[in-house]
Amino acid sequence: MFRNQYDTDVTTWSPAGRLFQVEYAMEAVKQGSAAIGLRSKTHIVLGCVNKANSELSSHQKKIFKVDDHIGVAIAGLTADGRVLSRYMRNESINYSFTYESPLPVGRLVVQLADKAQVCTQRSWKRPYGVGLLVAGLDESGAHLYYNCPSGNYFEYQAFAIGSRSQAAKTYLERRFENFADSSRDYLVKDALMAIRETLQGETLKSSICTVAVVGVGEPFHVLDQETVQQMIDAFEIVGEQEGPAAEPDASAVLEAAAEQGAAAADQGGSTDEGVAPMDI
């Protein structure tokens, strides 16, 4: 009821104790196309949906390498995301220069969060309109953090942000207990499955998604389209069968196969081709 009176400035509180401009900034994140992240003990996978404005244009870059051991996926105002990535790269380079060792991820996200907080307490600034999924590996293990425009940050086992991310989150919630001991390839498969959830029926192709991996012995890099397409093909069989079928059928198939998938994951990495029922 009072929202419109107190939402002009970021430095104005509402009577209920809220900063509406900050909340509006978090809305911007929800409007952006989906980005997901999940981690095991040794690897973190970031994925995002790449929607181009038209067939003629290229799509926006949403996954950025910050350093060999840190990468970030963004959702929301990609321009803000680009600027923050540049900040993160700079901080990482400066830390390496001074301490001759890689920047611990926990330090980076705190710096990012403090930077975001500043924008919530200056009348001449506005909050960053971008949510960041920061994936990084340091001495204390594999980490996945979510930084939001409010200046808050949380560590996650798996998370999804952006539009239709709830579908991906539901999938991740069902499966996340398996992630810690998952092999790298299964982790990527789970990421692709989560991305597919956000597409809601649209066929998953490597041209509309981007996947990046960082892990022990594996510096952060974006997987190339061919590799991604191969992984999609390995399990996308069920996707074709689903077709325009009703959602309930699909979820039943998913749930049944999820148990198979969990069992198969325990068996350890099997081959990609042929044995389809392993992972849905």
Partner 1 sequence: MTKQQANWSPYDNNGGSCVAIAGADYCVIAADTRMSTGYNILTREYSKICKLADKCVMASSGFQADVKALQKQLAARHLIYQHQHNKQMNCPAMAQLLSNTLYYKRFFPYYSFNVLGGLDNEGKGCVFTYDAVGSYEKVGYSSQGSGSTLIMPFLDNQLKSPSPLLLPVQDAVTPLVEAEAVNLVKTVFASASERDIYTGDKLEIVVVTADGIRREYMELRKD
The residues that touch partner 1, with contacts defined as CB under 8 A, are 65, 86, 89-90, 93-94, 96-97
By C-beta, is 100 or 273 nearer to partner 1?
Answer: 100
Neighbours of 11 (CB within 10 A): 13
Q: Which is nearer to partner 1, 94 or 230 (CB)?
A: 94
Query: Nearest CA to 44 among 173, 204, 170, 180?
Result: 180
SS3 at position 232: helix
* Closest separation in Å from C-beta 99 to partner 1: 12
Long-range contacts of residues 245-254, Cβ cutoff 8 Å, at least 24 apart = 253/280, 254/171, 254/280
Beta carbon of residue 58, minimum distance to partner 1 (angstroms, whole number) = 14
Cα distance between residue 228 and residue 226, in whole Å: 5
Structure-block tokens of residue 248:
């309930």
How many helices (H) and strands (E) are present in the chain, helices listed first?
8, 10
Is 63 or 278 the residue whose CB approaches partner 1 more closely?
A: 63
Spatial separation of the C-alpha atoms in residues 228 and 62, rounded to whole Å: 16
In the complex, minimum distance from the CB of residue 93 to partner 1, in angstroms, rounded to a whole number: 5
Residue 90 C-beta: closest distance to partner 1, Å: 8
Q: Which is nearer to partner 1, 98 or 140 (CB)?
A: 98
Q: Which token pair is 116?
A: 């975001």
Q: Quick check: 59 and 203 in contact, CB under 8 A?
A: no
Closest separation between CB of residue 87 and partner 1, Å? Answer: 12
Nearer to partner 1, 198 or 210 (CB): 210
Point out which residues pair with 153 in neighbouring strands.
147
Q: Which is nearer to partner 1, 61 or 115 (CB)?
A: 61
CB 58 within 8 A of CB 207: no
Q: Please report how close the Cβ of residue 113 comes to partner 1 at its closest, in angstroms.
A: 22
